[in-house]
Structure 1
Amino acid sequence: MPLVYMRRARVEDASAIVEIIDNARKYLKLQGMSQWQAGYPNQDTIIEDLSLERGYLLLVDGQPAGYSAILTGEDPVYTLITDGQWLNSRTDYASIHRFAILDRYRGQKLAQRFMTGILTTFYEQGYRDFRIDTHPENMPMQAVIIGNGFEKRGVVHINEGDETNGIRWAYQVVL
């Protein structure tokens, strides 16, 4: 069984993270989804994540296999929700963005383990409210989200690159 763990991403991980994101972008395109096809996230996004120390890597036997950015506090993406509502009006939550696994690691349940690691790490830091969103057609990500106890709460609209007012399903879990 491989050694699987999560750690905070570092500047020297930038090229591996860009590879993970680009690989996920290609996968989404092959699935016919518009998610991440408008130039976001990109290298500048990753550099900003790293400078703000909000990037996390999933490693398998020491090799980068997944990436996610975790933002804490009020997230402007989640300020306005339609077709539903958040379970509470708290602003001290953790939001999970840019969640991606390299294709050579897909099908190994690593996304579930990565999500569990994120929830555990931020629970230990005092966060109990977690939010995430994904494209309505991104069934694999929805399975990961729902498989970790999140419930669909409504719709948020994102502006990513050239995509404006993109519809994303919003999920929340309160531990």
Structure 2
Amino acid sequence: MTTVYMRPAIKTDLKEITTIIDGARHFLKAQGLPQWQSGYPNEETVATDIALNRGYVLVVGSEVAGYTALIAGADPVYEAITEGQWLSDTDEYISVHRFAISDGFRGQKLAQRFMTAILTLCYHKNQFDVRIDTHPENHPMQSVITGNGFEKRGVVYINEGKEINGERWAYQLILA
């Protein structure tokens, strides 16, 4: 059996992560979604994540198979939730952003394993409030999110390149 684990992203992962993000961008475009079609996230975004120690990779064997950014603290996008509300009023939460799996590993249920590793890390760091968002038509990501116990809490809006006020469904999980 191949080893699967999550670790902090490092500078030498940058090209592989950029390839993963580009593949995810094409996957979303093929589904007809505007999500990530404006050039964000990009290499600069990921380099910043790595420099700030908030980027993580999923490793399968010796290959980088996935990427995410885990951002602690208040997220301005999440402060203006509509059509619902968060379960807590705290600024002490982790936002999961830029979650992507490599084209070469898509369909192997690794996104579920990656999310489990993320939640385990959050718990280990005593960060029990975890939030994430995705496009209303991104059904594969919604499946990963709800399949890991997240609950839809409302709608948030992002400004991403040409997609101004892009609607996103917002989810939350309180780890007990």
TM-score bin, normalised by smaller chain: over 0.9
1:119 aligns with 2:119: yes
> 1:9 offset after TM fit, Å?
0.1
> 1:43 offset after TM fit, Å?
1.1
Structure 2 letter corresponding to 1:57: V
- Identify the residue that residue 152 of structure 1 maps to in structure 2: 152
Identity of aligned pairs, percent?
A: 61
Query: What is the rounded CA distance, in whole Å, between the counterparts of 1:77 and 1:70 in structure 2?
Result: 15
> 1:107 offset after TM fit, Å?
1.4
Query: What is the rounded CA distance, in whole Å, between the counterparts of 1:63 and 1:96 in structure 2?
Result: 22
Which runs of structure 2 are paired with 1:25-174 in the superposition (5 Å)?
A: 25-174=25-174
- Relative to the length of structure 2, the TM-score reads 0.98
Q: Secondary structure at the match of 1:44?
A: helix
Query: What is the rounded CA distance, in whole Å, between the counterparts of 2:78 and 2:19 in structure 1?
Result: 27
**Bigger mean CA offset, 158-167 vs 32-41:** 158-167
Q: Secondary structure at the match of 1:66?
A: strand
Query: What is the rounded CA distance, in whole Å, between the counterparts of 1:2 and 1:159 in structure 2?
Result: 39
- Identify the residue that residue 12 of structure 1 maps to in structure 2: 12
Query: What is the rounded CA distance, in whole Å, between the counterparts of 2:9 and 2:44 in structure 1?
Result: 15
Pairwise CA RMSD: 0.7
> 1:174 offset after TM fit, Å?
0.3
The alignment of Structure 1 onto Structure 2 pairs a total of residues equal to 175
Q: Secondary structure at the match of 2:99?
A: strand
Q: Which runs of 5+ in 2 are unaligned?
A: none
> 1:86 offset after TM fit, Å?
0.4
Query: What is the rounded CA distance, in whole Å, between the counterparts of 2:169 and 2:2 in structure 1?
Result: 33
> 1:128 offset after TM fit, Å?
0.4
- Relative to the length of structure 1, the TM-score reads 0.98
Q: Which runs of 5+ in 1 are unaligned?
A: none
> 1:97 offset after TM fit, Å?
0.2
